Amino acid sequence: MRGVADCGVFVVTMMLFLPVSGPGILVLTTLTSKGGVRAELGAAAGVIAGKPLLIERLRASPSGSVNLNWFAGICWMGLGVKLALFRRNEQDLMGKIFCVANQKGGVGKTTTTVNLAAGLAQVGQRVLMVDLDPQGNATMGSGVDKRQLKLSLYDVLLESATISAARVQSEKLIEAGCSYDILGANRELAGAEVELVDVERREKRLKQALVAVDKEYDFVLIDCPPSLSMLTLNGLCSANGVIVPMQCEYFALEGLTDLVNTIKQVHANLNPDLQLIGLLRVMFDSRITLQQQVSEQLKDHFGDKVFDAVIPRNVRLAEAPSYGLPGVVFDPSAKGSQAFVEFAREMVARVGKL
């Protein structure tokens, strides 16, 4: 966060030089473009509003007009560079939060979440995995016994614990050298929806909790349940984007239409930062003609929203959860595991372009 002294200097300088148009105004407007349209409009409004006052000052003191104008420009340049660097550094420090979601069950959401988390950890990223499903499969699949959790996501949503206190790590993953933090879940989480019914802004509870830790991570992955419940809504309201794992089958296409509409509604009403990051083709078998056809339809309709990585149907990925490990750790040489590591690299590259 910017210090109090910096804020004071910034405000005072704004008060002194906003009415003065100088060459630095253009630099400030350009460099702070990451602040969005409102930042640019604000700078432009300052220029327009300041013109009359500038003319009045120049008439009152013509001898110092040139120096004043250029001094204002230099100050604006300095402030513009400082503000731009602050904005970019702040964004670089903040973790990117992604929901792994699909309203259709059995499409590999949990498998995708734990293997992507392990793959990202393997390529050097700091990862927090949030299990938003009361079944707790992502927790168990990450090597943590959900029955032994002292604190879980349930406590975080009810604000009786922080994420820092509730997160855990798996000894198995630490030994494997690709550990990530886990905010686990168990069947207690199912009761959270009932207990939050009368709470204001209940759909923002997870988002509020993540604010305290998101700068500690490069990625936060949220494993959503296969329904549009209050839990899923908490995930969507917290996220920067949605990763959709899907099988290349007809019914999966119908479910995708519903999910895209849900994302649009949440974007319009609750979370303007939410976007569809991409579609991940999972359990793919290139020998099946139907799957090839559906895959081509996805690429034709969604274009670059379809990830290049394709996760093949692989028995080793299916066996891994019974050992309490992601497939990436259980059998790194399996085709499915290698595909998830490639997907992790693609995610890092894609996030860098957002």
CB 149 within 8 A of CB 184: yes
pLDDT of residue 251: 82
The model's pLDDT over 116-155, given as tens digits with 9 standing for 90+, comes to 999 999 999 999 999 999 999 999 999 999 999 999 999 9
Cβ atoms of 163 and 315 within 8 Å: the answer is no
Cβ atoms of 27 and 77 closer than 8 Å: yes
Other Cβ atoms less than 10 A from the Cβ of 179: the count is 21
Q: Give 151's contacts (C-beta < 8 A, 6+ positions apart).
A: 161, 165, 166
* Structure confidence at residue 288 (pLDDT): 93
Look up the pTM and report it.
Answer: 0.75
Q: Which residues lie closer than 8 Å to 105 by C-beta, 6 or more apart? A: 226
Taking alpha carbons only, the member of 314, 252, 316, 319 closest to residue 285 is: 314
Query: Using alpha carbons only, how large is the chain's radius of gyration in Å?
Result: 25
CATH code for residues 95-353:
3.40.50.300
**pLDDT of the residue at 159:** 93
From residue 99, how far is each of 124, 161, 231 by CA, in Å?
Answer: 20, 22, 12
Which tens digits make up the pLDDT trace of 55-69? 555 555 555 444 555
Is there a contact between 141 and 326 (Cβ–Cβ < 8 Å)? yes
pLDDT of residue 59: 55
pLDDT of residue 327: 96
Residue 285 has a pLDDT of: 93
How do the domains of the chain map onto residue ranges? 4-91, 95-353
Predicted local distance difference test score (pLDDT) of residue 130? 98
Instruction: Calculate the CA 230 to chain-centre distance.
Output: 19
Residue type, 339: A
- In the chain, which residues have pLDDT < 50? 1-13, 17-18, 20-21, 23-37, 39-40, 47, 51, 64-66, 84-93
Residues comprising the chain, all counted? 354
